[in-house]
Amino acid sequence: MYIQTVALLAVDHGLASCMQEAWANWHKTLTQLLSIPDHEMVFCGLALGYEDKTAAVNTLRSGRAGLEDVKFFGF
């Protein structure tokens, strides 16, 4: 939840953000390259910067299931 809070604060200050959990897959490599102690692990990262709205990569949108396809139980 901490990383989400930082990302939301960044947006509030005009920055774009990208949460990155894939770093967990590279923890052994990062440990060697960055001399991270064995008892620590890089699990996630957060990229911050100014969005380039003209870049093609920033126009990609993923599909999502419609709200009618979501089921709630117990509420």
What are the structural domain ranges in the chain?
A: 2-52
pTM: 0.62
Place of tokens 């990155």: 20
Per-residue pLDDT tens over the stretch 17-39: 999 888 878 878 888 898 989 88
Predicted local confidence at residue 75, as pLDDT:
64
User: Which residue did the predictor score with more confidence, 13 or 41?
Assistant: 13
